[in-house]
Amino acid sequence: MSESKKKPIVLTIANNKGGVGKTTAAAAITHLLSLKGKRVLLIDTDPQGNCAQQFGIDSTDDIGLLGELLLDRVNRNSDAKHAPLENYIVKSPVVPEIDVLSGGKPLNKAVYTVIFAVNSVVAANVFRRIMKEADMYDYVVVDTSPSFSSFTDAVFMGTDWVLAPMLPDKNSIDGVNTLFKYLAPIREEGEHDIRVAGVFFNQANDRSRALHEFEPLIREGWKDDVLKTKIPVNPAAVAGAINDDQPVTLKYPVAKATKAYKKLVEEVLARVEA
Ligand SMILES: Nc1ncnc2c1ncn2[C@@H]1O[C@H](COP(=O)(O)OP(=O)(O)OP(=O)(O)O)[C@@H](O)[C@H]1O
Ligand SMILES: [Mg+2]
């Protein structure tokens, strides 16, 4: 696939619940895809900017390059000359093979304003159109905020596959349910389907009562959408890597969580490249 110029596979990590491991997964998957020789663009759409931070890029106090790009592309009909996508992308100082497009802290607010200020159809499709410009990549991995908005709608409109981490607890499972319900009307409106790359348990301790209680129910309910791989609880590695502004897979290549993420990536690739 690397030689041909075609649309990248856009993989968005989402759950309508905070703290379930979206950012950790987005950073790990981005890094592992790059190790496999894939050309990857990471887009951090969460104003917290924690995923970009794991690749050595701090969130700014303005709208960031992602915000500028969105504003520029939404105002596409103006006569101004539009800079190419490359101008908004930075190379990770941590993993130079990885390109990053990230916003700043006021990103959601700025984009929200724009969404309502301009033609809403253009705004809703802005992310999808930007993905068409990203044809130099094999994959675009998108980290998202747990709260949904018109901006998240636009991100989903440009998404091919959704991957949802969840903790073995009721609230984060509810968060996935809400995500699926939320996606339904966007799927109907969009030009292409948004498919489920998988739902997976994060911080899964095989001896925990919660996992024993929830796992059979979830597997029965969501069937093949639930990935076989579970990411174990591994605070020393995961928190240690975050503290060092690195993906866990880079900082701790043989940690339990890294080994699990490697399996998870194989499962996801088997689906999205089938
Ligand atoms: N496998 C794991 N083992 C132990 N701790 C973990 C694991 N995965 C994530 N964590 C911890 O859980 C917390 C939340 O993780 P993360 O930031 O990836 O979640 P998130 O879904 O992106 O959160 P938010 O909704 O705020 O963006 C972090 O403190 C992280 O260190
Ligand atoms: Mg996050």
Ligand 2: distance of its center to the CA of 72 in Å? 26
Q: Is the CB of 56 under 6 A from ligand 1?
A: no
Atom of ligand 1 nearest to the CA of 46: 27
Q: Does the pLDDT of residue 105 top 50, yes or no?
A: yes
Q: Is the CB of 146 under 6 A from ligand 1?
A: yes
CA distance 45 to 35: 23
Give the CATH number for residue 173. 3.40.50.300
* Residue carrying structure tokens 């020393």: 236
Residue 2 lies in a domain: no
Atom of ligand 1 nearest to the CA of 202: 1
Residue 193 lies in a domain: yes
Residue 213 lies in a domain: yes
- Helix ranges (H only) for 101-169 are 107-117, 120-133, 150-157
Inter-residue contact 174 to 142 (CB < 8 Å): no
Residue 1 lies in a domain: no
Q: Is the CB of 17 under 6 A from ligand 1?
A: no
Range of the domain at 250: 9-272
Mean pLDDT within 43-71? 92
Q: What is the pLDDT of residue 1?
A: 44
CA distance 87 to 237: 34
Q: By percentage, how much of the chain surpasses pLDDT 70?
A: 93
Residue 24 lies in a domain: yes
Residue 4 lies in a domain: no
Q: Which of 258, 209, 208 is nearest to 234 (CA)?
A: 258
Ligand 2: distance of its center to the CA of 185 in Å? 24
Pairing of strands 99-102, 195-201: unpaired
Residue 3 lies in a domain: no
Q: What is the pLDDT of residue 115?
A: 63
Number of domains in the chain: 1
Mean pLDDT within 141-147? 96
